[in-house]
Amino acid sequence: FFNSLNFLIMENWKVNVYSSEDKFLVDSVNLPEIFLSPIRIDIFKFVFLNMSKNKRQSYSVNQSSGMNTSAISWGTGRAVARIPRVKGSGTNRSGQGAVGNFCRGGRMFSPTTIWRKWHHKIIKNQRRQAVLTSVACSGLVSLVMARGHKISETPEIPLVIESCVESIICTKFGQTALKNLGAYSDIRDKLKKKTLKAGKGKLRNRRRKKYLGPLIIFEKNARAFRNIPGIETCCIDYLNIQKLAPGGHVGRFCIWTYKSFSKLDQIYYQGNLNSFSKNEKKKENNLMTNSNLKVVINSNRIQNDINPPSKKIKNFVG
């Protein structure tokens, strides 16, 4: 039932394909099934958090830091703590506590090591559902605008352009294509923002915040858009949620080429629900086609099957 309903929706829901030169309609394509997938923000947040941990570099303090001293405890019977104390006499340092984490110049508590568990494995089905959620959110105008993208001049969301842009090499023509599609205003506004970062990042070659614009999703090549600041590119075969929803915020403005957009159904094909083949990339279905519970409960089909309310009054004697 759900498959037939989704099929009817996709048959009637067309997405226009626009020319990159004059913004005219070139063709139309059926909306891929991935845009009708349920939005599971809980799974997406979990996957994004663990996937972000896999980019970390290992760090630790020196193994002997805070312990490079010939300190020894005075033992008991001298009315002082049994913490190791620096040897010698005649200086301020002699007799001071050392080594302990509560001593000046001592080691830290539980020193960090490089063999801690830095990376985390993520279940394949959860990763796949996170990609489905981020792609489905990129097709909702409200979420794209809530993320801060300027799409008032954009003809349609999701925006699909002709595949000839993949053969363009010059960045100048790529900028012209974005201006014709009304997507360059999103980049222009973000280039004007020059906000300094807070903290030590200013000293580490990342002084300013980087504001991201549209994401170009291609099949084979997107050389014309690689060198435009604020724009990122991603291959359709390697969709990444860190590009589809940077910072863990869904609803990125995505520009699809025609070949990449029509390839979505081939990659994320739901297949037969009765099949248990691990090779098929299945997606989760909505359990309810109508979320209005009041209408569902008051419908004739349900009201005819439920028991009528009891009118008997029972008196309980205490």
Over range 48-65, report the average pLDDT.
93
Within 10 angstroms of residue 36's Cβ, the number of other Cβ atoms is 19
Q: How far is CA 58 from the centre of its chain?
A: 23
Strand (E) or helix (H) holding 30: strand 25-30
Q: Which residue has the higher pLDDT, 213 or 287?
A: 213
Average pLDDT over residues 25-43: 87
Mean pLDDT of 181-205: 85
Angle at 189 between CA 186 and CA 192, to 5 degrees: 150
- Torsion sign, CA atoms 77, 82, 85, 91: negative
pTM equals: 0.75
pLDDT, residue 317, reads 66
CA distances from 186 to 144, 156, 182, 235 (A): 12, 15, 8, 22
pLDDT at res. 276: 36
- The confidence band for 169, taking pLDDT boundaries of 50, 70 and 90, is confident
Residue 290 has pLDDT above 50, yes or no: yes
Residue 295 has pLDDT above 70, yes or no: yes
Window from 18-27, 36-45, 273-282 with minimum mean pLDDT = 273-282
Residue among 2, 34, 270 at smallest CA distance from 131: 34
217: confidence class by pLDDT, cuts 50, 70, 90:
very high
Q: Is the per-residue pLDDT at 18 higher than 50?
A: yes
The residue to which tokens 């999701």 are assigned: 158
Q: How far apart are CA 44 and CA 252, in angstroms?
A: 14
Per-residue confidence band for 283, with pLDDT thresholds at 50, 70 and 90: low
The predicted pLDDT at position 50 comes to 94
pLDDT of residue 5: 41
Determine the Cα–Cα distance for residues 27 and 14; give it in Å rounded to an integer.
10
Stretch 233-262: mean pLDDT: 91
Total Cβ atoms within 10 A of residue 138: 24
Beta partners for residue 161, in sequence order: 18, 257
Average pLDDT along the chain: 84
Q: Is the predicted pLDDT of residue 158 greater than 80, yes or no?
A: yes
Residue 69 has pLDDT above 60, yes or no: yes
Q: In what order do the strands lie in the sheet with 159-161?
A: 25-30, 14-18, 159-161, 254-257, 215-218, 232-235
pLDDT at residue number 104: 93
